[in-house]
Chain A
Amino acid sequence: MAFRYPDPRILLTALTSAVALCSPPAFGSSAFELAGAQTSRNGLNSRIMATGAEATYYNPALLPRAGAQTEVGAYFLVTRGDIHLDPRPDNVDVPVSIYDARLRNPDGSSSRLELRPFPTTEIPEPREDTLVRSTSSYATLGVAFPLLNEKLVFGFYGLLPIRNVQRQSSFFSDEREQYFDNRLEFELLGDRFEISSFAIALGSQVTRWLALGAGVDLTIRNTAVTGVYVPDASDQRRIFLNPDIRVETAISPYFGIATQPTPELGLAATVHFPIRSDTDGINEVRFFNFEYPDDEDAVVQTFKSTQGYEPLRASTGASYKSLDEKGQTEWGLGSHVLLERWTTYRDRHGEAPLDGWRNTFSVAVGGVVGFKPGSLALDAEYKPSPVPDQTGRTNYVDNARILTSAGFETPVKVFGLGFRFGVYLHGQYLVPRSVEKDPNAVHPVLDEFPDGSTDLVNDEVITESTGLQTNNPGYPGYSSEGFIMGVGVAFKFPAIRRER
């Protein structure tokens, strides 16, 4: 009996399923939300028009429509973002005399400085424009697997950055950034593109016209407890460390519902609960020949960081398609609105923005045309920025975005085996935005060298403290713009997708 090689599609399904079952804990969903389903036909409208494994994340109630499907894809994103800083006036530098300064109290006494800025001339990193020129590449994996026909369909959808599986790059969005890179950064881009994202879900066609779905984002919560011993406080380069890092899994659920009053008309709604990846750090520092206060046996330092915060997201939408006599889509349209509750946002240091963010409504529309031998889809979306004009202390840089995508899918045969092959294009335009700092803002730029500060030796007023002195890199204003472009490919099978 001749040996028969197994069908590579089966192998691919098995491999993809194995990845789905054995994948590491997910890290968040930011990458899913930033660019939509990059290797899907209507990637910006997947909450209403998903036809494959991408439904796992965007709307699990659409999983039963996908039936059994497996996809493997890759895509590349090019990001170009510019943040141009306005020139600083000459008289706002923090002078070196800040080192000799104390605050004058109303009663004539003095007290320690509350802020401790660098003299402007001693800031380690110069204040410069931010020019983002980055490329990112991703692998996508997806499986939709009926467990009980349409009554219960399991879905897995994953997105894995190829170069940096995970990157966390923190920065401050106010004058504290002077102590570090002294740059402004795009708040909702950057490392949020480099988060491995996985989702698993179940979908069920409850009745002919009603489908329900539920899934979870799996994220991680890190706790880092580091024991530190300092044998010689006068030689701070020599320390002993014992890190104890624990990674726990946390989940954030989401739900979807889809109805199909007629074969042509579809209605859907989703809700995704907030998700974030927190890191809580504790350093327990011990010293040679040291008595610890308050019955402690170490000096305890704590810190917190947050990555990839995604707020509560709720969507609703509708689709309509014209089917031919074989049930194949001749053409279709879809649209949805997405509410994102950004008022609860926490930045990379786990802090709520001083000037509260706005909830946003995004609107997306899309269409698809079927033809032999494939289909062509187009999407467009407008995403307003949740960030109010940063006229005060903070510099959360964010732009409204106009997104477009196009997808072409066609059946192909590879070594005699039928696949569906897709090519996808993606583009985002960051609508240019400028802000100017306003002294009358609710939380204005801080005067880091308060007027009337006194010299610590002679208690006389330091005249250089008069007026505003700040190292806030966003002062007196800045502008931002940019674009993101991407291209992706995917192999999917079965080659012919059943459409309902």
Chain B
Amino acid sequence: MFASLASILRNDRATSVFLLLLTVVTVLASLANLLFPEGSALHVSTYTLGLLGKYMTYALLAVAVDLIWGYCGILSLGHTAFFALGGYAMGMYLMRQIGNRGVYGDPVLPDFMVFLNWDTLPWYWHGFDMFWFAALMVLVAPAILAFVFGWLAFRSRVTGVYFSIITQALTYALLLAFFRNEMGFGGNNGLTDFKDLLGFDLQANTTRVALFISSAVALAAGVIACRFIISSRFGRVIQAIRDSESRTRFIGYRVDNYKLWLFVFSAMLAGIAGALYVPQVGIINPGEFAPINSIEAVVWVAVGGRGTLYGAVIGAFLVNYAKTYFTIALPEIWLYALGGLFVISTLFLPQGVVGLMNKVMQRKQEARV
């Protein structure tokens, strides 16, 4: 594993540069937040840090989407379902940590259950008071969903737009389901009012910095893992599947299995992203399942440049920064801008920003020659 990490760093310049940059930004931002007092010119506010941390979880989601779309041609329009499931698993842990500090003061039941007059904890809430269990579920819940869904879909060769449409239906069905109070996930309001994580106060500055650094580490680990997969023979097989699925099958590869495991892995990445996202924004509700979120995640990848992992990260940062800026400065404009981004990136930037940069660099090089 370390050997392959070393070989990645040796052979893949773009990824190395990206990892270096990520480390520098993370360390500097954290130090600037912790060492310099508020008001200092060098201080990075906790708000900014939280925002960056949120972007990093989005970036991890984008990497997950890019892995299956950019490298294997599977366009999932329901990937935020996995993101949200990971988020809910983390949210359930955080809910249990509230204990008797809730409005109703029930030592076991979360507030919304007391409100619904439930007197016992539903079976699937058991175990979430332990962090290791919740952390396991962050991976297992999305993986199971992805496995069952993917097994059904890939085995019967549902591909292309059909797959996209049914993934959208999947996340839509989950959205409707999680809206129901009877599901026991807080219905409309979702899970919120979290107090602490592993005993650390979620409002405390140091906790926020720690979450920020965790997100950065998760992102880096995600990118390295994906890099490892892509540069293995497995990676060449999935790209072969992307380019000619039936040919790959005739050579003797069980395409369904390849797609399935890639899909499951990607879902787990999305789940981790969701789990890191929830404590930083302080809420998880069914809105996260909305199909539009999934499509937005695809656009991050498209804008950044699919088929390059760092492109997906760049896309996630660019689009989300634009979103944060526009929704505050010009809320009217945001949907126009986002809509325009979809159109422009598909029509004029098939390889995304990264593709554009490569082209410009190539031209410069040619000019020099």
Genuine A/B complex: no
